[in-house]
Amino acid sequence: MTLRRKESQKLLGRLAKVESPDVTFLGERFPIVMKKARGLSVTDVDNNRYLDFTACFGVLALGHGSAIVRSALRRQSAKLIHGMGDVHPTREKIKLLELLAGVVPFANAKITLGLSGSDAVDTAIKTAMIATNRNRFLSFSGGYHGLTLGPLALNSRQHFRKDFEFWIEHKATILPFPESDISPEYVCANVSPTSEELKNRGFTSVSEAFSVLEKELRTQAYAAVVFEPLQGRAGEREWPTGFLKKCESLAQQTGTLLIADEIFSGFGRTGKFWAHEHHGITPNIICAGKALGGGLPLSACIADCMDAWGKSTGEARHTSTFLGHPLACAVGYDVVSEICRTLPLIQERCQKLDVELQAFVRLCRQMGIAERHPFVVRGKGYMRGLWFFREAPGFAAELSEKLLEKGFFTLPSGECGDVLSLTPPLTTTMAHFRKLFRVVASLL
């Protein structure tokens, strides 16, 4: 398929003149300009059609233009579009907060809403500081928690940090990320990645990573450890078995809170409602976003220690104009209710996808791809990445461009763009996946 590009190129030319230069990447063959979408199917302004295997950064759990989202929007927009943040609340905000309090493992769950994932992490940082009376944080290499000045300090990548060190320095210690377990049925290579390859791609041995974590926690200087239960932007990186459990026990011994950033991994994406459940741990604070708003800007910081903020004295110490926006709350309530209702079905699909991915790996081995472009399938459920561990940086970015040409939205992930990231709507069927896998195999 050759993409028609005339209209996209015209619009991108206009965009280049008015948008700050470091926002939208404008390449030769990437991006296109989106016009409309339904389910997995996206149409661009030149009427090319694509299947979306990104769910727009994992946001559209129910797919594009879901009937549930459209109906909540219609209903709510006829009643009340904008409310009054932290002053006169709405029924929609109260219902959503009650629902969220019921889906976390906290006896005293209380919530502050936000508009973006970064907002939720900002609130978590402030909450942990108040609750512990400490002001430094631990996070992990590869972790992505947003780019506003609070979460930026937790981010290890120089690409994001440089120019802002003055503001963020000394706020957080970034710990090495431990080597994950790799199961052989997900390895399309003649040998698994070597220790040298793992080291070059940002992994540290489990024992070394744990001893650094322990040394820092024992100082009792940190308010919280912030982590993604499954790292997303770092390339769908999983934790080795038992690591987070040991981290939880040490955190408890040293009076340090655990902040699980479930902004990408929450709401069923990994096959459990929250990804931290795979590790048998209970964090103190959960940050949620992306899928929560069903496509509207909405996030939440949910904690069992929110009472540390103390009683309101009349003027909120942490709020924003659009907090608890009625449209987003109405949609969020219906989307989260639908995910709760269909969780068993989502879990069944995740299991089927495991089988499908293993078949894809076997097919690639038969086609000789293990020798040409060895890869490992990482992640869980509908948060997967194909890690091309022996390729030059940018390999997955190039593959993603070629897939766009063939009618598929995918994204590269990993610090050096060596992981092809697949985070489609949770409604994606195995027939859709097979279609994609056939094209990926033929391109490889």
Nearer to ligand PLP, 293 or 374 (CB): 293
Residue 117 touching ligand PLP (CB under 6 A): yes
Under the phi-then-psi rule, with left for phi > 0, alpha for psi from -120 to 50, and beta for the rest, what region is 294? left
Strands 222-227 and 257-261: parallel
Q: In this structure, what token pair is assigned to residue 433?
A: 């996946």
CB of 226 vs ligand PLP, minimal distance in Å: 9
Site string for ligand PLP, 2-41 (x = CB under 6 A): ----------------------------------------
Q: Which residue has the tokens 């955190």?
A: 251
Report in angstroms the alpha-carbon separations of 62 from 226, 232, 290, 435: 28, 19, 12, 20
Q: Which stretch binds ligand PLP (CB under 6 A): 28-36, 116-124, 209-217, 408-416?
A: 116-124
Burial 308-324 (b: 16+ CB within 10 A, else e): ebeeeeeeeebbeebbb
Q: In this structure, what token pair is assigned to residue 386?
A: 């194909």
The SS3 of residue 411 is: strand
Q: Which stretch binds ligand PLP (CB under 6 A): 74-82, 169-177, 239-247, 261-269?
A: 261-269
Q: In this structure, what token pair is assigned to residue 397?
A: 């970015």
Q: Which stretch binds ligand PLP (CB under 6 A): 140-148, 174-182, 269-277, 310-318?
A: 140-148
Composition of the chain by helix, strand, coil, percent to 5 = 40, 20, 40
**267 in Cβ contact with 336 (< 8 Å):** yes
Nearer to ligand PLP, 287 or 357 (CB): 287
Nearer to ligand PLP, 273 or 360 (CB): 273
Q: Which stretch binds ligand PLP (CB under 6 A): 260-268, 330-338, 349-357, 378-386?
A: 260-268
Nearer to ligand PLP, 120 or 189 (CB): 120
Q: In this structure, what token pair is assigned to residue 256?
A: 């340090």
Nearer to ligand PLP, 263 or 285 (CB): 263
How many Å apart are CA 180 and CA 379, to the nearest integer? 10
- Selected from 116, 127, 256, 284, the binder of ligand PLP by CB under 6 A is 116
Residues in the interface with ligand PLP (CB under 6 A) total 15
Nearer to ligand PLP, 62 or 298 (CB): 298
CB of 122 vs ligand PLP, minimal distance in Å: 9
Nearer to ligand PLP, 187 or 396 (CB): 396
CB of 2 vs ligand PLP, minimal distance in Å: 32
How many Å apart are CA 184 and CA 343, to the nearest integer? 28
Instruction: Please report the beta strands in 107-249, taking only residues with DSSP state E, as ranges in sequence order.
Output: 110-114, 136-140, 172-175, 177-178, 187-188, 203-204, 222-227
CB of 262 vs ligand PLP, minimal distance in Å: 8
Strands 172-175 and 136-140: parallel
**Per CB under 6 A, which of residues 263..292 are in contact with ligand PLP?**
263-264, 289
**Per CB under 6 A, which of residues 142..161 are in contact with ligand PLP?**
144-146
| Three-state secondary structure of 68-115 | HHHHHHHHHHCCCCCCCCCCCCCHHHHHHHHHHHCCCCCCCCEEEEEC
**Per CB under 6 A, which of residues 214..243 are in contact with ligand PLP?**
228, 232-233
DSSP letter, residue 418: -
CB of 6 vs ligand PLP, minimal distance in Å: 31
Helices (H) then strands (E): counts for the chain:
15, 18
Site string for ligand PLP, 95-114 (x = CB under 6 A): --------------------
Position of minimal CB gap to ligand PLP: 117
Nearer to ligand PLP, 116 or 141 (CB): 116
Q: Which stretch binds ligand PLP (CB under 6 A): 72-80, 259-267, 331-339, 377-385?
A: 259-267
**291 in Cβ contact with 173 (< 8 Å):** no
Q: Which stretch binds ligand PLP (CB under 6 A): 82-90, 141-149, 184-192, 320-328?
A: 141-149
Residues of this chain that bind ligand PLP (CB under 6 A): 57, 116-118, 121, 144-146, 228, 232-233, 261, 263-264, 289
